């Protein structure tokens, strides 16, 4: 009986690794394909959105929630790989942005795309 439990746990671990690899591969394929989507073609996206503040456990961050109509990938947020400048760290701040997509990041309750901010300006 003990051997069966170890076998099952081992198979579950292998399955989890396979799923993680498949998600990574599909993310790469999506970002590198050429379907005519501006996100897929050059990984540079520009648009307008709102700065949002969020917390996961002890990790707190500011991200950009793109407006409807802005090309987004995997729905959700643009999460900067570097901390936003202090004058942009304001929940609800409206911004115009230009970002380069770096990778996807799946949080427990939403998904986000890691981005390098190329341009960022306050609106109104």
What fold does the segment set 42-122 form as a domain?
OB fold (Dihydrolipoamide Acetyltransferase, E2P) (2.40.50)
Tokens representing 59 are: 């990790």
Residue 71 has a pLDDT of: 61
- Say which DSSP state 85 is in: P
Sorted by where each begins, the domain ranges of the chain are 1-32, 42-122
Name the residue with higher pLDDT: 103 or 51: 51
Residue 40 has a pLDDT of: 46
Phi and psi based region of residue 43 (left: phi greater than 0; alpha: psi -120 to 50; beta: remaining) = left
Name the residue with higher pLDDT: 117 or 58: 117
> Measured between alpha carbons, how far is 6 from 23 in angstroms, rounded to an integer?
26
What's this model's pTM, rounded to 2 decimal places? 0.61
């Amino acid at each position: 009986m003990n051997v069966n439990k170890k076998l099952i746990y081992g198979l579950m671990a292998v399955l989890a690794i396979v799923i993680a690899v498949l998600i990574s591969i599909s993310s790469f394929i999506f970002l590198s394909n050429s379907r005519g989507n501006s996100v897929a073609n050059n990984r540079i996206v520009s648009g307008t959105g709102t700065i949002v503040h969020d917390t996961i456990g002890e990790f707190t961050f500011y991200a950009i929630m793109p407006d409807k109509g802005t090309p987004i990938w995997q729905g959700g947020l643009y999460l900067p790989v570097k901390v936003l400048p202090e004058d942009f760290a304001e929940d609800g701040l409206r911004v115009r942005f230009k970002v380069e997509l770096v990778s996807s990041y799946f949080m427990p309750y939403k998904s986000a795309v890691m981005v390098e901010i190329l341009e960022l300006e306050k609106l109104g």
